[in-house]
Structure 1
Amino acid sequence: MRKKIISSITISSFIVFFVLFLFISENIKKDYNKFEHRRSEERYKMIKNEFKSLSDNLKTLTSDWGEWDDTYEFVKNKNKKYIKSNLSPESIATLGVNYLYITDSEGENVYSVGYDQQKEGGVIPPEKLLIDLLQFDDLAGMYVSNENKIMIFSSAPITDSEGLKDSIGKIIMAYEFKLSDLNKKLGTQVEFLDIKPTEENTFEVNISKDKVNNKFYIPSFSNKDLVLKDSLDADILVLGKDSIKKYIWVLVINLIILILIISIGIEKLILVRLRKIEITVEEIIEKKDLSRRLEVTGNDEISLLKKNINIFLETIENMNNKLIGKASYDVMTGIFNRHTGIEKLNFMIQESKFKNEPLTGCFVDIDGLKFVNDNFSHNDGDDLIKSIASILKSFSREEDLLFRLGGDEFFMAFLGPDHSDTEKIFSRISLYLEEYNKNSQKPYDLKISYGIIDYVYNQSIEEFIDSADTEMYKHKSEKKCLRS
């Protein structure tokens, strides 16, 4: 009888612990894989957003030239002074473009100029490229030629600065995309893989033993996808595997303790107390409440078993909390990452509607990050990003939202303060940066461009952020005009 009881207790205990282990380990594996997929998705959004940023910057530049009265007069009168002053190869080199075309209203080439960045000299712009780009009326983006050359281009109508006259032609700017520039700015190691006809793909994730291999499909106006690849250490997945190994050891120790308890043999006392443990463990599994603990009284073997089960549950809870923190915060700056920021921004929008309070957003872009990366080091570039993040955080309240969109871009949201209040906040930030730069020993200045926008009822999050992004580019353009 005693042997049957001991055998029954041993088997049932093994089953309970085995089921508990399988349930937790399988769910942890799924969660860790899910977070790896989410990290790849954030990486894809950051890269795609950078392509949008490149085309938006070129669009701003092209629009400025298209609305310039001197450009309008040049198309009308073919003024050679305009060519000498503005259309030399060296002039467009300072704009960072390879080719500039000016056409009349019939699409005929009025003037074109090119510059080879590698040879540092002028070249004749290809006529075929102009023909191809003319089909994209007043657009900006990426174009892949038949020779698989990747170009960032922008087309804008030529009119007067007041916008009162009809367009008499187009101005088109284009430059050859360099993957090395993208990697420098974003701090990535993305590689070129292929160019394929456009499909429905956005990105692919392949998780191996300790690596996460990504493919990113970037669409273009030429119905071709630029396919990029990169490989990252699967540190979240490795963390999960290590935690599961710890759980196995904890289970083994607990099972050994259980066998010792059974061998002592106080059947009735053991059966009653073990049944309570079994019920509690089953409730924890059913409710998935890892914060719950067993009540420990006494100093005997069963109390020791309860303590070890509590240690086991606490270990799982701590590892999950670490995982949540790793998935919610930007590793470099310590502020919220894009995914978490978007989630919290959605809650702020709902709260704004419920409380009928104003919600303002601000898109912040670091000025001169590429200059710092190119002229000093990527460590200095990382320090610049972290310094700006720290300053923005110091000027935000606990109820305000600050997160990193990716690269050198941040977003802030304020519930309660209106547009005027937010302007005052950023005026204080600007004054602080000026004072900081005066006293700084760094060989470069900390500068930002920003765009503030009010949330409009029923506006989507993407529209809200894009509107602030547009305002930021206006601010950046205004500063360039002031400098010139």
Structure 2
Amino acid sequence: MRKKIIVSITLSSFIVFFLLFLFISENIKKDYKKFEERRSEERYMIINNEFKSLSDNLKILSSDWGEWDDTYEFVQNKNENYIKSNLNPESIATLGINYLYITDLTGKTVYSVGYDHKSQKSVKPPEKLLFNLLKFGESSGMYISEDNKIMIFSSDPITDSKALKNSMGKILMIYEFNLDNLNKKLGTNLEFLGINSSEKKSFEVNISKDRVYNKFYIPSVNEKNLILNDSLAADILVLGKDNIEKYAWVFIINLLVLISVISFGIEKLILSRIRKIEHSVEEIIEKKDLSKRLKITGNDEISLLKKNINVFLDTIENMNSKLVGKASYDLMTGIFNRHTGIEKLELMMKKAKLNNYPLIGCFIDVDGLKFVNDNFSHNDGDELIKNIAYILKKFSRDEDLLFRLGGDEFFMAFLGIDHSDAEKVLLRVTNYLQKYNKNSKKPYDLKISYGIINYDYNKTIDEFIFSADEKMYEQKSEKKSLRI
């Protein structure tokens, strides 16, 4: 009878613990896959933001030229000096674009110039490309031509510098997208997969045994998608599988301890305490709560078993906590990443609206990153971004929110202070940067442009961030006009 009880208890305990192990291992695998998917989403955000940054930078350039008095006068009198000084192939090469068109109000070409950066020779700009892009008015973005060439373009009206006179026409700047340049800048290994006009999703993720395969869909203004794909090692998933194997040994050891306790213990004490362990384990499985711990008194093998199981649960919980931290923070800068930052910003917006608190948003862009990458190295560019993040963190309070949107863009949110107080924070940052640059031995300066806005309770989170982004570009444009 005693042997039957021991065998019965041993078998039932083995089943319970085996089910617990299966439950934990399957949930860990799912969590690791979610973290891999979140990492792919972050990669899509960075890549998509880079395309937006390309069009935004070109927009600033075309806007500056469109508001130039010399350009306005050139449309009227076709000044040859303007052509020699500004519309020669060397100038186009310096601007980093491929085509520049100047048209009158009817859309007729006043002057056009093109440059092939590979052959370093001037080329004739295609008139059909101008005709197709003029359909989109005064805008900017990515355009996919009929022969599937990827173009970044920006179109602006030609006015005088004070915007007092009527527009004389349009200026259109076009940059032929180069995937190798994008890979070099972002440190990625993207490949061109094709063009698609029907796909509505932003990206796809396929996870195999040890690799993650991503497919990114970048939208264009003419309703086509540029499809890019890449693959990378599934580091998080592989780590999860390794940990599960380790915990399998922990499970076996605990099972051996359990059998030893049952074999040498006293039936009544063992039976009651084993039932308590079984009940606790079943409760953990039923409620799916790994924070619960077994509560068994005594100083014998069963208490040792309880201790080992609790250590096992502690290890699982700590591992999940580290994974959550890894998925929440930007690996380069150590501050919140875009995904976590957006979640926390949504909570701040709800709190501000519920309690009628003021909420201030600030969009921050690092100045001169392209210059540092092109003239020094991408390591210097990464160091520039990390230094800016460190300084922004230095001047933010514990209750403020700071996160990296992607690339060289950051966002700060201040709850409970007004617009002027937020301005003071950013003023202290810029003053600190000036002192830093004065004492720095680096061949480049640390500078930022920013835009600060009050949160309108009726705005969505995308509208809130976009409004701050627009304010930032106003400041950046003012800086450029002062340099001109």
TM-score past 0.5 threshold? yes
Distance 2:404 2:241 in 1: 29
Give the deviation of 1:260 after TM superposition. Answer: 1.1
1:154 matched residue in structure 2: 154
1:189 matched residue in structure 2: 189
Distance 2:300 2:232 in 1: 49
Once structures 1 and 2 are overlaid, which stretch shifts more, 472-481 or 339-348? 472-481
Distance 2:74 2:483 in 1: 25
The DSSP-based 3-state class of the residue aligned with 1:152 is strand
Distance 2:481 2:402 in 1: 29
Once structures 1 and 2 are overlaid, which stretch shifts more, 100-109 or 222-231? 222-231
1:136 matched residue in structure 2: 136
1:338 matched residue in structure 2: 338
The DSSP-based 3-state class of the residue aligned with 2:194 is strand
The answer to whether the Cα contact below 8 Å between 2:359 and 2:454 also exists between their aligned partners in 1 is yes
1:80 matched residue in structure 2: 80
Distance 2:60 2:373 in 1: 24
The Cα offsets for residues 414-441 of structure 1, whole Å up to 9 and x where unpaired, read as 1122221111111111111111111112
The answer to whether the Cα contact below 8 Å between 1:152 and 1:177 also exists between their aligned partners in 2 is yes
The DSSP-based 3-state class of the residue aligned with 1:194 is strand
1:239 matched residue in structure 2: 239
The DSSP-based 3-state class of the residue aligned with 1:195 is strand
Once structures 1 and 2 are overlaid, which stretch shifts more, 95-104 or 59-68? 59-68
2:170 matched residue in structure 1: 170
1:103 matched residue in structure 2: 103
Give the deviation of 1:379 after TM superposition. Answer: 2.1
The DSSP-based 3-state class of the residue aligned with 2:473 is helix
Alignment-mate amino acid for residue 83 of structure 1: I
The DSSP-based 3-state class of the residue aligned with 1:443 is coil
Note if 1:448 corresponds to 2:459.
no
Distance 1:297 1:5 in 2: 23
Question: Structure 2: 5+ residue runs without aligned partners?
Answer: none
The Cα offsets for residues 77-112 of structure 1, whole Å up to 9 and x where unpaired, read as 323233233222222333221111011122111111
The DSSP-based 3-state class of the residue aligned with 1:276 is helix
Note if 1:418 corresponds to 2:409.
no
The answer to whether the Cα contact below 8 Å between 2:143 and 2:150 also exists between their aligned partners in 1 is yes
Show the 5 A alignment for 1:268-283.
268-283=268-283
Distance 1:136 1:404 in 2: 32
The DSSP-based 3-state class of the residue aligned with 2:441 is coil
The answer to whether the Cα contact below 8 Å between 1:366 and 1:449 also exists between their aligned partners in 2 is yes
1:383 matched residue in structure 2: 383
Once structures 1 and 2 are overlaid, which stretch shifts more, 232-241 or 315-324? 232-241
The Cα offsets for residues 151-206 of structure 1, whole Å up to 9 and x where unpaired, read as 10011222334444443322111011112332333332322222233421321111
1:37 matched residue in structure 2: 37
Distance 1:69 1:480 in 2: 16
The answer to whether the Cα contact below 8 Å between 1:57 and 1:473 also exists between their aligned partners in 2 is no
Distance 2:68 2:480 in 1: 15
Give the deviation of 1:296 after TM superposition. Answer: 4.4
The Cα offsets for residues 446-478 of structure 1, whole Å up to 9 and x where unpaired, read as 111111111112111111111111111121121
The answer to whether the Cα contact below 8 Å between 1:184 and 1:373 also exists between their aligned partners in 2 is no
Once structures 1 and 2 are overlaid, which stretch shifts more, 133-142 or 406-415? 133-142
Give the deviation of 1:116 after TM superposition. Answer: 2.3
Once structures 1 and 2 are overlaid, which stretch shifts more, 425-434 or 116-125? 116-125
The DSSP-based 3-state class of the residue aligned with 2:212 is strand
TM-score for both structures, normalised by structure 2: 0.96
The DSSP-based 3-state class of the residue aligned with 2:330 is coil
Give the deviation of 1:35 after TM superposition. Answer: 1.5
Note if 1:434 corresponds to 2:434.
yes
Show the 5 A alignment for 1:352-371.
352-371=352-371
Question: Structure 1: 5+ residue runs without aligned partners?
Answer: none
Alignment-mate amino acid for residue 418 of structure 2: D
1:13 matched residue in structure 2: 13
Note if 1:464 corresponds to 2:464.
yes
1:321–1:227: structure 2 CA closer, same or farther, 3 Å change rule?
Answer: same
Once structures 1 and 2 are overlaid, which stretch shifts more, 175-184 or 405-414? 175-184
Distance 1:224 1:152 in 2: 14
Give the deviation of 1:357 after TM superposition. Answer: 1.8
Distance 2:179 2:475 in 1: 27
Q: Percent same amino acid at aligned positions?
A: 74
The answer to whether the Cα contact below 8 Å between 2:273 and 2:296 also exists between their aligned partners in 1 is no
Alignment-mate amino acid for residue 241 of structure 1: K
Give the deviation of 1:359 after TM superposition. Answer: 1.0
The DSSP-based 3-state class of the residue aligned with 1:253 is helix
Give the deviation of 1:376 after TM superposition. Answer: 2.3
Give the deviation of 1:307 after TM superposition. Answer: 0.8
Distance 2:263 2:244 in 1: 29
The answer to whether the Cα contact below 8 Å between 2:49 and 2:407 also exists between their aligned partners in 1 is no
1:211 matched residue in structure 2: 211
The answer to whether the Cα contact below 8 Å between 1:6 and 1:265 also exists between their aligned partners in 2 is no
1:69 matched residue in structure 2: 69
Give the deviation of 1:36 after TM superposition. Answer: 1.1
TM-score for both structures, normalised by structure 1: 0.96
Q: RMSD of the alignment, in Å?
A: 1.7
Once structures 1 and 2 are overlaid, which stretch shifts more, 314-323 or 176-185? 176-185
Distance 2:453 2:54 in 1: 22
The answer to whether the Cα contact below 8 Å between 2:330 and 2:336 also exists between their aligned partners in 1 is yes
Distance 2:188 2:467 in 1: 27
The answer to whether the Cα contact below 8 Å between 2:64 and 2:481 also exists between their aligned partners in 1 is no
The answer to whether the Cα contact below 8 Å between 1:185 and 1:369 also exists between their aligned partners in 2 is no
Once structures 1 and 2 are overlaid, which stretch shifts more, 198-207 or 328-337? 198-207
The DSSP-based 3-state class of the residue aligned with 1:399 is coil
Which consecutive aligned stretches of 4+ in structure 1 deviate over 6 angstroms post-superposition?
Answer: none
Alignment-mate amino acid for residue 41 of structure 1: E
Alignment-mate amino acid for residue 466 of structure 1: F
Distance 2:53 2:302 in 1: 63
Give the deviation of 1:238 after TM superposition. Answer: 1.5
The DSSP-based 3-state class of the residue aligned with 1:333 is coil
Distance 1:201 1:254 in 2: 47
Note if 1:253 corresponds to 2:253.
yes
Distance 1:63 1:370 in 2: 19
The Cα offsets for residues 284-335 of structure 1, whole Å up to 9 and x where unpaired, read as 2222222222234333111111111111111110111011101111111111
Give the deviation of 1:385 after TM superposition. Answer: 1.3
Alignment-mate amino acid for residue 259 of structure 2: I
Distance 1:153 1:182 in 2: 16
The DSSP-based 3-state class of the residue aligned with 1:181 is helix
The answer to whether the Cα contact below 8 Å between 1:152 and 1:175 also exists between their aligned partners in 2 is yes
2:349 matched residue in structure 1: 349
1:208–1:392: structure 2 CA closer, same or farther, 3 Å change rule?
Answer: same
The DSSP-based 3-state class of the residue aligned with 2:213 is strand
